[in-house]
Amino acid sequence: SAVISQKPSRDICQRGTSLTIQCQVDSQVTMMFWYRQQPGQSLTLIATANQGSEATYESGFVIDKFPISRPNLTFSTLTVSNMSPEDSSIYLCSVSPRQFFGPGTRLTVL
Amino acid sequence: GENVEQHPSTLSVQEGDSAVIKCTYSDSASNYFPWYKQELGKRPQLIIDIRSNVGEKKDQRIAVTLNKTAKHFSLHITETQPEDSAVYFCAASRGGGADGLTFGKGTHLIIQP
């Protein structure tokens, strides 16, 4: 299975600011996915990142709020923009085809 | 879009007994069904997965069954142990895992000593 790392592991941010989360994989993968897990909840898919094309966003998530980059086959970033306390969650990346998850980024917005 | 229902939300079993968690899905095009175990403060861990061309898959004490006609799949854990206590999530996707996953709401499994 692919080894996935994420940075930062956690952060505390002020409302109105932005945070960029990095996801690095130890092998080339076609698809990378970003999920959100709100406190005590299940996981929700934010978007799918395919190298060389625009990310595909799920209903309820927009590019202006969650811009994604996928510059190569081993790396992706998710930015959480103009943050509010409702954005406090764990953000996780995963890769296809068998979807293993990175360690997650625990974000707290004050 | 896909909708995945998971039951029960909490399951308490005696150590050594079996546990069964059930999920239903709505999208008949879904063909990949993974199960994840999440311990407190940790990432979801893929424990077993099944594709729609298979009816059952086993890995030691864990098994998953799939009924495509009824659109439901289940996780079976036999001879439960204290370390099985965790939250379990089912999920479904199209594309054999190449598409994003839709998750159930999770089952908190408690193993009573």
C-alpha B54/C-alpha B52 separation (Å) is: 5
| Local confidence pLDDT in tens for the 113 residues of chain B | 899 999 999 999 999 999 999 999 999 999 999 999 999 999 999 999 999 888 999 999 999 999 999 999 999 999 999 999 999 999 999 988 789 999 999 999 999 99
Q: What is the 3-state secondary structure (H, E, C) of B66-108?
A: EECCCCEEEEEECCCCHHHCEEEEEEEECHHHCCCCEECCCEE
Measured CA to CA in angstroms, residue A42 lies from B38, B59, B84 at distances of 10, 24, 19
Q: What integer pLDDT is reported at residue A12 of this predicted model?
A: 98
Task: Give the A-side interface with B, CB within 8 Å.
Answer: 1, 30-31, 33, 35, 41-45, 48, 58-59, 92, 94, 96-104
Which pLDDT value is given to residue A1?
75
How far is residue A37's CA from residue A16's CA, in Å, rounded to a whole number?
21
Cβ pair A101:B89 closer than 8 A: no
Number of Cβ within a 10 Å radius of residue B58: 12
User: Does pLDDT of A74 surpass 80?
Assistant: yes
Kindly determine whether residue B98 and residue A97, on different chains, have CB atoms separated by under 8 Å: yes
A51, A70 contact by CB (below 8 A): yes
Q: Chain A: residue nearest B89 by CA?
A: A42
Interface probe for B, chosen from A44, A45, A76, A106 (most Cβ of B below 10 Å), is A45
How much is the pLDDT for B1? 87
Interchain CB contact of B59 with A (< 8 Å): no
User: Which of B99, B102, B105, B107 has the most A C-beta neighbours within 10 Å, making it the best mutation to test the interface with A?
Assistant: B99
CA distance B91 to B30: 10
State pLDDT tens for residues A1-33: 789 999 999 999 999 999 999 999 999 998 999
